[in-house]
């Protein structure tokens, strides 16, 4: 008996057709959800039912392949998830941010990850109007994240929250010490996303300076999920300050070469594409023959410090107050006041 496997071209064509046939329905679902903003429980039920109708069972296998152990997914393709969000955004431009915040809070109790990813987009939108309570939910999401797709989806609102309120850099600095590889990955993913979340604030010299310091603390981490995010961050920060990124990579390449640090070398090597060709060639030659080896452990500064103080909880978890209920004034929709903040 023989089996046939669809070619990559056929698979892509099928995915494109699947999305095209359901895009309008996805936007309609988003618009329909606006009717349930005042009832978060009903909202969650309607969103879950609607997402199930948009799911592609074949896509589940793809998600499980690229993110083994990803957990509970419905199989909703990203363009359809985005279409639901787009329809909802258009229908709720004048809705109270406080009401929308409690919808996001309720969605975090749902198991399917697509519903949580929808909530991330909602929080990204609410950060300017409700920065503190939105950040509470983002921190909760970071603690609960258990796969790289969720972490990288969370990085976009995380980056926006930090750019809006720069004192939150301190919270990102704490995550380098987290025992969770997913929270450590979030550091790199947030830095990588920052120059694209806001092309002005996210590309100021301070972003490169702070970001390179955080990468320096994590470089040498032995988790591949963290290493990939750090290389991604270096490539992004090279767009912000190429000279600083190249000087950083030269220094770290020297350290990797002197110590035979394959974890450190892998990250630098993976970032070379965004450096000047001459620098990339120089560092590629410098790192030749230095490879990652299993069982070597982390050599990062963060791991060294955490090991030194392993009796102290350094997981980056901040005790947050529970999400506070809105006041009567919050719950009263003022269309003119909320038009700019919730659009």
With a pLDDT cut of 90, the percent of the chain lying above it is 83
- Is 8 within a domain? no
Q: By the 8 A CB rule, do 71 and 145 touch?
A: no
- Is 59 within a domain? yes
- 199 shares a domain with 101: no
- 175 shares a domain with 312: yes
* Domain edge (last residue) among 126, 143, 176: 126
- Is 226 within a domain? yes
- 117 shares a domain with 177: no
pLDDT for res 6: 60
- Is 6 within a domain? no
pLDDT for res 246: 98
- 197 shares a domain with 95: no
User: Please, which pLDDT band fits residue 207 given cuts at 50, 70 and 90?
Assistant: very high
- 91 shares a domain with 230: no
pLDDT for res 190: 98
The 10s digit of each residue's pLDDT in 57-116 is 999 999 999 999 999 999 999 999 999 999 999 999 999 999 999 999 999 999 999 999
The 10s digit of each residue's pLDDT in 10-63 is 888 999 999 999 999 999 999 999 999 999 999 999 999 999 999 999 999 999
- Is 133 within a domain? no
- Is 160 within a domain? no
Tell me if the pTM is above 0.95.
no
pLDDT at 337 over 50: no
- Provide the number of structural domains found in the chain: 2
> Where are the extended beta strands (E) located within 222-292?
none
Report the pLDDT averaged over residues 165-189.
97
Nearest to 144 by CA among 166, 116, 168, 167: 116
Report the pLDDT averaged over residues 235-261.
97
Q: Which long-range contacts (CB under 8 A, 24 or more apart) does 320-323 make?
A: 320/136, 320/139, 320/140, 321/136, 323/101, 323/102, 323/105, 323/133, 323/136, 323/137
Terminal alpha carbon distance of the chain: 57
Residue 38 sits in which domain range? 19-126
Q: Which of 33-37, 226-230, 300-304 has the lowest mean pLDDT?
A: 300-304
């Amino acid at each position: 008996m023989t089996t046939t496997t669809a070619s990559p071209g056929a698979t892509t064509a099928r995915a494109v057709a699947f999305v095209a046939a359901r895009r309008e329905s996805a936007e309609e679902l988003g618009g329909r959800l606006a009717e349930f903003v005042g009832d978060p429980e009903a909202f969650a039920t309607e969103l879950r039912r609607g997402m199930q109708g948009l799911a592609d069972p074949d896509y589940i296998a793809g998600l499980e392949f690229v993110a083994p152990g990803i957990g509970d997914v419905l199989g909703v393709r990203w363009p359809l998830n985005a279409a639901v969000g787009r329809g909802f955004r258009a229908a709720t431009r004048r809705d109270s941010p406080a009401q929308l915040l409690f919808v996001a809070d309720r969605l975090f109790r749902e198991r399917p990850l697509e519903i949580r990813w929808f909530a991330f987009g909602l929080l990204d939108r609410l950060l300017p109007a409700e920065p503190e309570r939105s950040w509470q939910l983002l921190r909760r999401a970071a603690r609960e994240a258990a796969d790289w797709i969720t972490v990288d989806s969370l990085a976009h609102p995380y980056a926006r929250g930090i750019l809006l309120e720069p004192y939150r850099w301190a919270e990102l600095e704490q995550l380098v010490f987290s025992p969770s590889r997913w929270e450590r990955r979030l550091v790199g993913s947030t830095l990588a996303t920052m120059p694209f979340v806001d092309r002005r604030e996210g590309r100021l010299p301070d972003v490169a300076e702070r970001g390179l310091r955080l990468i320096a603390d994590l470089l040498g981490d032995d988790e591949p999920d963290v290493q990939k995010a750090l290389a991604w961050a270096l490539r992004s920060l090279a767009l912000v300050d190429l000279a600083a990124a190249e000087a950083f990579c030269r220094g770290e390449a020297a350290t990797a070469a002197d110590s035979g640090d394959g974890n450190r070398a892998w990250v630098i090597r993976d970032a070379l594409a965004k450096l000047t060709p001459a620098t990339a060639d120089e560092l590629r030659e410098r790192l030749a023959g230095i490879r990652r080896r299993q069982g070597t452990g982390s050599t990062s500064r963060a791991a060294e410090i955490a090991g030194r103080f392993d009796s102290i909880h350094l997981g980056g978890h901040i005790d947050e107050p529970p999400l506070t209920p809105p006041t009567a004034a919050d719950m009263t929709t003022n269309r003119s006041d909320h038009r700019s903040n919730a659009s």
